[in-house]
Amino acid sequence: MKERWIGPLKVFPLGLGCMGFSHGYGDAVPIDQALSVLDEALERGVNCLDTAALYGNGANEELLGRWMGARRQQVVLSTKCGLNHPQSGAERRIDGRPHSIRASCEASLQRLNTDAIDLLYLHRLDREVPIEDSVGAMADLVQAGKVRAIGLSEVSASTLRRAHAVHPIAAVQSEYSLWTRNPEIAVLGACEELDIALVAFSPLGRAYLTAKLVDPSRLQPGDIRRSMPRFDMLNYAANLRLMDKLLPLAEEAVCSPAQLALAWLLHRSPRVVPIPGTTNPAHLAENLGALSVVLGPVLVARLERLFHPDAVSGPRYNAANSVEVDTEKFDS
Ligand SMILES: NC(=O)c1ccc[n+]([C@@H]2O[C@H](COP(=O)([O-])OP(=O)(O)OC[C@H]3O[C@@H](n4cnc5c(N)ncnc54)[C@H](OP(=O)(O)O)[C@@H]3O)[C@@H](O)[C@H]2O)c1
């Protein structure tokens, strides 16, 4: 499959989400395991790596900084600012103020051990700060040579358009998968119109779409999925019933459910760049198999009907995290 573009950055069609090495899904993985998955990904051509200042409170960026060394030029390095754990250990905070963005970028550059970040995203819109001011600060970082391209995460089409009028936006990073179709309401269309990449995070539905997570009650205590409504006992049981219908479709396409989920995203639009996250070399290999899956229009239609937004049980975020995102929502 041909490479894709994120603004001026040429990327392999699938990226690697690095969050899980140190954040989100339970304990951080052993360093040797993380380094070998990163090696393997790059060896297989995956060059777009995704991290954030938030992940492990900087530990995820430090991991990439340690690993990259002489590989820096082979990597399209993306990180995020504007959502941080304050050092005090208090609650996490959205902060899109220009001086905070500048400080966050400097700290990321240090941790990543690099002179410039290829793609810097605003992790969340700060509703207290006009998007023009946040993006203006990011544009200054481009001018200063510290950042090559700018992205926004979990924004609505109207925020995207306002931001794009200040400085070209290279990418929107939003949750997008068979079971989270919100970008189809407006953002994907805006990206196609404005020539902006849609970087799809949690493209495997945080493991749900792999069909291998059957009992979320066994997730580690600190796993963020424990606070996500779709993973609670009742909703997950209903969502697993959809999985029963996905399995035969994967069989028809001669691939695994994870490969089918990723192939569907790749097929959806050439602007889409999925960034599946994995800490496991066998999962990495499986996910890359999505690149050779061929999907016909009939199968695509059946998949989209099966995962119609009304068919999925539970909202993707709990109430507290839901107010943090600026994205369009389905009415239900
Ligand atoms: N912008 C944002 O607000 C935001 C939010 C969330 C995530 N992200 C980014 O998006 C990236 C990807 O999203 P994500 O990690 O949340 O979700 P994901 O890619 O949908 O799923 C990751 C989960 O699936 C498992 N997995 C991956 N491949 C598998 C396979 N073939 N078979 C079985 N299990 C598999 C992983 O476990 P193993 O490690 O065991 O494979 C992990 O638990 C993150 O790493 C992060 O960089 C951004």
Instruction: Kindly give the distance from the C-alpha atom of residue 132 to the centroid of ligand 1, in angstroms, as a whole number.
Output: 31
Any ligand 1 atom below 6 A from CB of 277: yes
Q: Tell me the pLDDT tens digit for each residue of 125-142.
A: 999 999 999 999 999 999
Q: What is the mean pLDDT of residues 33-53?
A: 98
Any ligand 1 atom below 6 A from CB of 274: no
Evaluate if residue 26 carries a pLDDT over 50: yes
Question: Strand ranges (DSSP E) for the chain?
Answer: 4-6, 9-11, 16-17, 48-50, 76-81, 83-84, 93-94, 117-122, 147-153, 171-175, 197-201, 272-274
Q: How far apart are CA 111 and CA 114, in angstroms?
A: 8
Any ligand 1 atom below 6 A from CB of 17: yes
Evaluate if residue 332 carries a pLDDT over 60: no
Helix (H) or strand (E) holding 36: helix 31-43
Q: Tell me the pLDDT tens digit for each residue of 182-202.
A: 999 999 999 999 999 999 999
Catalytic residue among 55, 176, 208, 317: 55
Q: What is the mean pLDDT of residues 313-328?
A: 91
What pLDDT, on the 0 to 100 scale, is given for residue 91? 67
Any ligand 1 atom below 6 A from CB of 114: no
Ligand 1 atom nearest 208 alpha carbon: 24
- Return the CATH number of 4-322, one of 3.40.50.2300, 3.60.20.10, 3.40.50.1100, 3.20.20.100: 3.20.20.100
Domain ranges of the chain: 4-322
What pLDDT, on the 0 to 100 scale, is given for residue 22? 96
Evaluate if residue 167 carries a pLDDT over 60: yes
Any ligand 1 atom below 6 A from CB of 206: yes
Instruction: Kindly give the distance from the C-alpha atom of residue 145 to the centroid of ligand 1, in angstroms, as a whole number.
Output: 31
Ligand 1 atom nearest 259 alpha carbon: 31
Q: How far apart are CA 152 and CA 237, in angstroms?
A: 33
Residue with CA closest to ligand 1 atom 25: 207
What pLDDT, on the 0 to 100 scale, is given for residue 85? 72
CB of 131 closer than 8 Å to CB of 163: yes
Instruction: Kindly give the distance from the C-alpha atom of residue 272 to the centroid of ligand 1, in angstroms, as a whole number.
Output: 16
Q: Tell me the pLDDT tens digit for each residue of 8-23.
A: 999 999 999 999 999 9
Any ligand 1 atom below 6 A from CB of 326: no
Residue with CA closest to ligand 1 atom 4: 201
CB of 146 closer than 8 Å to CB of 117: yes
Across the chain, what does the average pLDDT equal?
Answer: 95
Ligand 1 atom nearest 124 alpha carbon: 3
For this structure, is 25 an active site residue? no
Q: For a substitution probing ligand 1, which of 14, 19, 220 has the most ligand atoms within 8 Å of its CB?
A: 19
Burial of 30 (0-12, 13-18, 19+ CB in 10 A): exposed
Residue with CA closest to ligand 1 atom 15: 277
What pLDDT, on the 0 to 100 scale, is given for residue 1? 75
